[in-house]
Structure 1
């Protein structure tokens, strides 16, 4: 359900009278700062428990470590088992407040890309920087969530708030079918007025940036076929062009005809021959053939990323039209797998961003710019973007995500928690009229 909540919040924070921190907001700032070392200790504890997506026991263990943290703040906590999609599950924490208070969804994830077989397993601190598996993606984001909520409790602004914290256990490799693995998250998005994604903070040349949009992440599989025979007949009316020329025609037409802003369509791998076959894992292919035989088959898989659903629909239609214009003696089929939808830029998202920038001014921080969506990958917040205004990139600053040596700027946990706590508290000042 979309509301004018974000626009109302923008108006309430943009006036000169609001251009300073309130006593409650000053309490939030001090509380986050005072609990810095405790937050680092919690980050170390949960980082040192391996929670690679496919380590179900580890994902559940980290979830259980977080249960008392949320319960201490008055949240009802539920572990949602996901064995039916071969994943560990999700941790949802809910706090019901005033009926007319805005409904805020905070999104993070417990899992990491580092499975137990990875040599990169432990948290290590060097001053205000730390390394560890998932330390910024996304265990640091979870700590930001908890630090912000504790600050709100200390300031009295958590009382009466309507908040759901959704920590998925398979963000790095969502379970299939995705409609089932993301069912509870989508339902939470339909409930929410505002969604905040606590993955890594975007920066540009050292400047903090706001994320109001993220692109989709989908894939496609292309197969072509042709009449096989002796190569001397290639291009003839009887033999045609063969599967590889048809594949080359299609891929080159994608390159030439599809380009538009924020649209990409990478080709990950391809193979052609007599025969060419896709691997059972859909991540490989095999082919054999001779130079004097016209190939009878070719296969390719690729990626498709878009900024809006309209762009997705337009690109899919254009790709299908290209695939259907076959060379003589050939045929082709393309199949699309739609995984992560886009988080499209909206007026509500922009209004939330401007509200956040008003908070930056009150905190004495540099204004944020808008981070280019083409430079951010897909994320769980995209599943709720059609229903609620949102901001992504609310987690800490770091580097090297998904690689050994992944690191986090520990002081950015403080900065981001202060921003989040004040943002949610200011949003809560605007009652929402709901239809009965």
Structure 2
């Protein structure tokens, strides 16, 4: 092996070993969305490392408009840049530090390497992706090109519950950016996400009148029967041809078998592929209270489409073409693909603003939100290498 090649291989191995050490550190921090101290602990890890390569870092505490401003309700978020005061960023690196797993999950199944995979809570969604972003920036610093880029890093702590506190902050930073890289997991087979469905949750409540089911049924107004009618109406929203789905996922109602139920509820998960569906779906749910079926029962609805769809426009397609070109140059065996998915991410917000957005830039993995979640270790250096090469295209020519 030539001396230069051997040196580069040693650097790559050193980066890989450090990545695994970092991986174990942050995966072994319980950081469910409601575990604010755990999320902040993850943020502090990245704060230290980013400061070491010259970034100005802030740990923000953002308030959810639906909750109090008490310290325990504030969402920890990390904001960092190597160009304080910049009016425009070449790249925004976006990710989330929270997971869906409750406190105690790390003790139950800590970070572990099994053959060519790593497992642990949040290993795929999305602590592996956060580390890809960090190591790309560290590599850019090492090769002397980071100073020729203006970068914004935005890691929030409430994505798994809808980014209610952080979405306006994310939008603000995206509008200051030329392009957005979202470090959600890359799908097996190096499939990046170029399109996502938008969506939201709706909560339908029917309130009626209780009565004895046998002796005085005529005195009651059955909320369960009303919610059943509403569910049938909601089901008609489904239209696979235009990519709209409305799935009733949780239903409750009634107390005892011999009492006419005075309350029933239905939770609905809605996903849309087209921006114009936002108004149609929101209007439909607002109309339910005016279309009841059981006399004496009233219907109320909470919720709305809060994430617009992530649509593949020409600017994003041009950016994707660059990724394809660089992947071929980096590794002829690394065939990347752009896909569409029904799941949402914070990339939905940035894409809807017209900012070119590529998602799925973390390491390759699968089974998010499950105990068998995993990532493919072989993808670590490949993803770091590819994204580093792409970033360097946007360096300022001096």
State the alpha-carbon separation in 1 of the partners of residues 387 and 306 from structure 2: 28
Q: Is the 8 A contact 1:51 1:114 kept in 2?
A: yes
Q: Do structure 1's residue 157 and structure 2's residue 157 form an aligned pair?
A: no
CA deviation after TM superposition for structure 1 residue 115, in Å: 2.9
State the alpha-carbon separation in 1 of the partners of residues 294 and 89 from structure 2: 60
The one of 231, 256, 263 aligned to 1:288: 256
CA deviation after TM superposition for structure 1 residue 298, in Å: 2.4
- With over 3 angstroms needed to count, the CA separation of the structure-2 counterparts of 1:369 and 1:100, relative to structure 1, is same
Structure-to-structure mapping, 1:29-428, within 5 angstroms: 32=12, 34-82=14-62, 84=69, 86-96=73-83, 103-118=90-105, 119-173=107-161, 178=164, 180-203=165-188, 207-226=189-208, 242-260=222-240, 261-273=242-254, 287-290=255-258, 295-321=261-287, 324-327=290-293, 329=295, 330-363=297-330, 364-374=332-342, 377-387=343-353, 388-428=355-395
State the alpha-carbon separation in 2 of the partners of residues 188 and 339 from structure 1: 18
Q: Is the 8 A contact 1:222 1:299 kept in 2?
A: yes
The count of residues paired between Structure 1 and Structure 2 equals 380
CA deviation after TM superposition for structure 1 residue 60, in Å: 2.0
State the alpha-carbon separation in 1 of the partners of residues 327 and 319 from structure 2: 12
State the alpha-carbon separation in 2 of the partners of residues 259 and 191 from structure 1: 36
- With over 3 angstroms needed to count, the CA separation of the structure-2 counterparts of 1:289 and 1:208, relative to structure 1, is same
CA deviation after TM superposition for structure 1 residue 295, in Å: 4.4
State the alpha-carbon separation in 2 of the partners of residues 396 and 102 from structure 1: 24
- With over 3 angstroms needed to count, the CA separation of the structure-2 counterparts of 1:90 and 1:121, relative to structure 1, is farther
State the alpha-carbon separation in 2 of the partners of residues 28 and 240 from structure 1: 78
Q: Is the 8 A contact 1:29 1:151 kept in 2?
A: no
Which range is displaced more, 56-65 or 186-195? 56-65
- TM value normalised by structure 1: 0.77
The corresponding residue for 1:282 is none
Q: Is the 8 A contact 1:131 1:408 kept in 2?
A: yes
State the alpha-carbon separation in 2 of the partners of residues 130 and 211 from structure 1: 22
- TM value normalised by structure 2: 0.83
CA deviation after TM superposition for structure 1 residue 105, in Å: 0.5
Give RMSD over aligned pairs.
3.3
CA deviation after TM superposition for structure 1 residue 234, in Å: 11
State the alpha-carbon separation in 1 of the partners of residues 291 and 274 from structure 2: 26
Q: Which has the higher contact order (CA 8 A, sep 6+)?
A: 1
CA deviation after TM superposition for structure 1 residue 142, in Å: 1.5
CA deviation after TM superposition for structure 1 residue 318, in Å: 3.1
CA deviation after TM superposition for structure 1 residue 169, in Å: 2.1
Q: Is the 8 A contact 1:101 1:160 kept in 2?
A: no
- With over 3 angstroms needed to count, the CA separation of the structure-2 counterparts of 1:159 and 1:98, relative to structure 1, is farther
Q: Secondary structure at the match of 2:378?
A: helix
- With over 3 angstroms needed to count, the CA separation of the structure-2 counterparts of 1:77 and 1:420, relative to structure 1, is same
Q: Secondary structure at the match of 2:249?
A: strand
Unpaired stretches in structure 1, ≥5 consecutive residues: 1-26, 274-286, 432-436
Q: Is the 8 A contact 2:191 2:339 kept in 1?
A: yes
